[in-house]
Structure 1
Amino acid sequence: MTLLDLLSPLSAGINLLLVLISVFTSAFTAAVGVGGGLLLIMALAQVMPAAALIPVHGMVQTGSNVGRVVLTWRHVDRTVIAAFLPGVVLGALAASWLLVRLPAGVLELCIAAFVLYSCWGPGLPRRALGRVGVLLAGALTTLLSSLVGASGPMVAAFIKQGQSDRLAKVATFSACMSAQHLTKAFVFGMAGFVFRDWLGLMLAMVASGFVGTWLGLRLLRRLSEHRFDALFKWALTLLALRLVWLGASRLAG
């Protein structure tokens, strides 16, 4: 039995593939600003048991986002984080006891609608970008993240409205997502998920993700503000369209 076999209940080849995918998805998010998390959860969904999908994805994304924060901490908007964190706590508490869920597909369509509005509609009202608006965004997206694991585009679309600098967008988004994904340890721990079985794979993917983040940030610093904004906007749009397709498919059964 090789070291790769010991990483998780999956086979050695699958473990190695997921570690390599973590490099790519982390680099993608660091360079473009969003999208790596959804690409990763799509890859994990092909090979991982459903019960492990969101908690393992959440822990890997925590490590990946923390890595980006470490490398870009000077650009984090601390005012946004101070307002976002209480909302994260409220959203996590709600997720830990929520029993009633919307019909499959509705959540995905709601997220997609918000993202498309943020990208192509008029800017959000100034009040929505204040402390109360940021707090509510933190609560809502944390709740959605625990239910469907797909809140990244919604958080990114919100951050996009309040940040003008590309490094500030990536850094602030990563700090928000670090806190949000970390709550999954609490939510799924309370639900009885055994993280220990997947710990080796999660640590390996976090380490390889840090390498990807470093590579992606090197590319980000070479991009102009205009080119980054265009890539960011279209990445969000494509992710939203995927959510529309996924939501519609689930509603249709």
Structure 2
Amino acid sequence: MLDLVPPDISPLFAGILIFCSFLTSALTAALGLGGGVTLLAIMGLGMPVSSLLPVHGIVQLGSNLSRSLIQRLYIVWPLALWFFIGSVIGIAVGAPIAVWIPDNVAKIALALFILWSVFRKRTAPKPVNRLFFILGGALTSLGTMIVGATGPMVAGLISSQGLTKQPLIATHALCMVLQHGLKILAFGLMGFAYHDWLPMLAAMIASGVLGTWLGTRLLDNLPEKFFRTTFRLTMLILSAQLIWQGVQGLLAH
């Protein structure tokens, strides 16, 4: 058992992370977001900072990949395409400079963008604004190299198109697959040793797939109005948490 657990964490904490991967994947599949941020916070309680973002990226890649496959018929492909182009630019340009951007400032900026995207006055649905999604992909990919969990920001970007629950969550899942994949590649090129975490990653991804299946069943039975209200409330809470963390960090300095 000990050989299957990375030396950086205890067997007990490893078991907690595997169970939490199941719960947070179910949460994300049902409500569209929240699971990635929650899992990142839990992982931060017992993992070294140097391992946190790379490992979280792979676990989230597995969770979002299973969700995008299960809900593939609902994906809005043009949105994902332009988001991917922006993500490539954001990772390539942002990775070298991300270390220079204060973490606390980035958290506040991400939260403000989320609130603007979700709560701004709606207009009639328009054709996809390519530049908007390319810039959004670039900015969120820069953010993911700094704070790790930018799922709420990406969800806010996609929700600006006024999608219903299934297309919103399916497209969000694919965009996160693309973004996490690029982030994993970037951390690998920067020298992170993923092989030490392979058994643990496999267990967390497997439990995440089960959670995704359960959450998807819940999503299919949620009324659209209830989903929309819960989605906005969740975004508000997550944004408030980001702002609070950012302000606390700035005041501490």
Give the TM-score normalised by structure 1.
Answer: 0.94
Aligned partner of 1:6 in structure 2 is: 4
Aligned partner of 1:195 in structure 2 is: 194
**Contact 1:7–1:199 (CA under 8 A) maintained in structure 2:** no
**Contact 1:5–1:15 (CA under 8 A) maintained in structure 2:** no
C-alpha distance after superposition, 1:77-106 (max 9, x if no partner): 011111111111111111332266233311
C-alpha distance after superposition, 1:186-223 (max 9, x if no partner): 21112111111111111111110000000001110110
Matched positions, count: 251
Structure 2, unaligned runs of 5 or more = none
| 2:33 counterpart SS class | coil
Query: What amino acid sits opposite 1:54 in the alignment?
Result: L
Q: 1:23, 1:225 → 2: CA distance?
A: 24
| 1:15 counterpart SS class | helix
C-alpha distance after superposition, 1:42-92 (max 9, x if no partner): 000001000000000001000100000110000000111111111111111
Runs of 4+ in 1 over 4 A off after TM superposition: 124-129
Answer yes or no: is 1:33 the counterpart of 2:32.
Answer: yes
Q: 1:235, 1:176 → 2: CA distance?
A: 19
- Residue 159 of structure 1: how far off its partner (Å): 0.8
Query: What amino acid sits opposite 2:24 in the alignment?
Result: T
**Contact 2:90–2:141 (CA under 8 A) maintained in structure 1:** yes
For residues 1-253 of structure 1, the aligned pairs below 5 Å read: 2=1, 5-9=3-7, 10-98=9-97, 101-123=100-122, 129-253=128-252
| 2:160 counterpart SS class | helix
| 1:38 counterpart SS class | helix
**Contact 1:96–1:190 (CA under 8 A) maintained in structure 2:** no
Query: What amino acid sits opposite 1:55 in the alignment?
Result: P
C-alpha spacing 1:20/1:192, structure 2 compared with 1 (3 Å) = same
C-alpha spacing 1:196/1:147, structure 2 compared with 1 (3 Å) = same
| 1:231 counterpart SS class | helix
| 1:170 counterpart SS class | helix
**Contact 1:103–1:251 (CA under 8 A) maintained in structure 2:** no
**Contact 1:18–1:205 (CA under 8 A) maintained in structure 2:** yes
- Residue 127 of structure 1: how far off its partner (Å): 8.1
Q: 2:47, 2:120 → 1: CA distance?
A: 37
Structure 1, unaligned runs of 5 or more = none
Query: What amino acid sits opposite 1:190 in the alignment?
Result: L
C-alpha spacing 1:32/1:101, structure 2 compared with 1 (3 Å) = same
